[in-house]
Amino acid sequence: MIFLDNIVFSNMEIKKLNIIISLGFVAIIGILVAQLLWTRQAYHLEDKKFEQKVNIALLEVVKKLYGSKASFTENPVHNIANDYYVVDINNEFDPAILEHYLKTEFTRFQINTDYVYAVYNCHSDRMVYGRYISAEDQESEGKMINFPKHENLVYYFSIRFPDKTTYLVSSLKFWYVLTIALIVILFVYVYSIYTIIQQKKFSELQRDFINNMTHEFKTPLSSILLAAEALDKQETIQNSQKLKTYTAIIANQGNKLNHHIEKILNIAKNDASGLKLNLQEIHISSFLNDIKQQIGQKNENVRIDINIKNETTILADEFHFSNVVHNIIDNSIKYCDRKPHIEISENKDSKGFYLKFRDNGIGIPDKNISSVFDQFYRINTRKSDEVSGFGLGLFYVKKIVQQHRWKISVENNPDQGITITIFIPFQN
């Protein structure tokens, strides 16, 4: 039944994730399409703007070539192609003066791109190549541009803009950079979603494996513990100190393994569906004193000092909070090379309540202190080799603390050992 609930929950989560992914993908595609349409529209507007400026500039050139006699019955500027213009002067003019006026007017109207002009010679009946004028004032004599001859025109010149497309694109750099950025964002989004899906599949596979493994372990382990308990009651075992010791070892190690399995199951359940907390008011002082007595019955050499006011209370899940305290104290006992001494104290400020666990253990190297709450993490020391475990104790502690919306931190003491602090905000 537990696995069926997990499968149903997993399917619901996958369905929600698929909806979010689809909506996000559609939104980004829509934004990208809109951006491309805006960029295309901006290019056409820039093209029209360029055409208008060129027409006005060439008209001004014609007026200056005519001088005070300028009068037109129709526009002398003809746009033959996208980058090709023919200007009907209908009067003789000097090509050198034409070039001067072209430079002046193009500069005035901020037409900053290369162009080349040619003048029609009525004596030879052909277009006479003028000059290639660069926007950077660099002459390019080697560049020859085709200028076809036009009928019914005698005194005219033609002008081409060979780099018009490049010029327009460069003037829209912001739009193209924005479009490229959106495309990059789209690829990053797709890659991130792919990574999330793969990670989710891996997490579900890992969780299912842990669930199956731990449940398969619990059945034979329960049989071992029952057999050990039955053996311990046998008269033969009671009369032999050696056999009684062996039976006690089997029972103790079996209980320890059972505790580890329960811890793994709790963590897997928490990852799968979130932990449901049964919050209730707890009097910290009496609660910790009960735990102190329980630990004292098993470890007579442990000294636990509790400095908590009797009236101090918190809102917490009693079962899981008890596990948190047991795990912290258990770590302090295991990682101590002398008689364990643990001080539990409180502190308050304007933000909240601080519950501190200070021990006299071996401490934690500074480079490892930020990783002590990571899953399956164990510090490689001589003492850790002597202590059995999976590196799940403090990971479980942090999970429970986060479920309560508290905060937890650890620091080395100036003299010896560590201090673990649980911060409980007043609003919680």
**Domain membership flag for residue 3:** no
**Domain membership flag for residue 165:** yes
**Domain membership flag for residue 15:** no
Spatial neighbors of 305 by CB under 8 A, at least 6 apart, are 341, 342, 343, 344
154 and 263 share a domain? no
Global confidence as pTM: 0.46
**Domain membership flag for residue 18:** no
pLDDT single digits (tens) 109-142: 888 888 888 887 766 667 777 778 877 655 555 5
β 341-348/303-307 pair status = parallel
**Domain membership flag for residue 31:** no
167 and 265 share a domain? no
**Domain membership flag for residue 142:** yes
Torsion of CA 321, 322, 326, 329, to 10 degrees: 60
389 and 250 share a domain? no
CATH of the domain at 374: 3.30.565.10
103 and 213 share a domain? no
151 and 190 share a domain? no
**Domain membership flag for residue 25:** no
281 and 386 share a domain? yes
Q: What is the mean pLDDT of the chain?
A: 78
293 and 315 share a domain? yes
Q: What is the pLDDT of residue 3?
A: 41
What number of other Cβ atoms are within 10 A of residue 208's Cβ?
16
166 and 181 share a domain? no
257 and 381 share a domain? no
What domain count does the chain have? 3
CB 118 within 8 A of CB 158: yes
395 and 281 share a domain? yes
pLDDT single digits (tens) 317-347: 888 888 889 889 888 888 888 888 999 999 8
**Domain membership flag for residue 94:** yes
236 and 374 share a domain? no
User: For the residues 264-287, what does the mean pLDDT come to?
Assistant: 73
Question: Which of 236, 271, 306 finishes a domain?
Answer: 271
User: For the residues 288-303, what does the mean pLDDT come to?
Assistant: 84
Question: Which of 217, 245, 271 finishes a domain?
Answer: 271
40 and 156 share a domain? yes
User: For the residues 379-405, what does the mean pLDDT come to?
Assistant: 73
Q: How many Cα atoms within 13 Å fall on the side-chain side of residue 111?
A: 24
pLDDT single digits (tens) 169-201: 787 777 778 778 878 887 887 788 778 777 777
More confident residue, 63 or 74: 63
Q: Can you tell me the distance from the alpha carbon of 374 to that of 391, in angstroms, rounded to the nearest whole number?
A: 8
Phi and psi, residue 339, nearest 5° = -70, 120
Domain membership of residue 179 as a residue range: 174-271
Q: What is the pLDDT of residue 267?
A: 61
Question: Which of 271, 290, 319 finishes a domain?
Answer: 271
B/e letters for 28-67, b = 16+ CB within 10 Å, e = fewer, are beeeeeebeeeeeebbeebeeebeebbbebbbbbbbbbbe
Share of the chain above pLDDT 90, in %: 4
Q: What is the pLDDT of residue 419?
A: 92
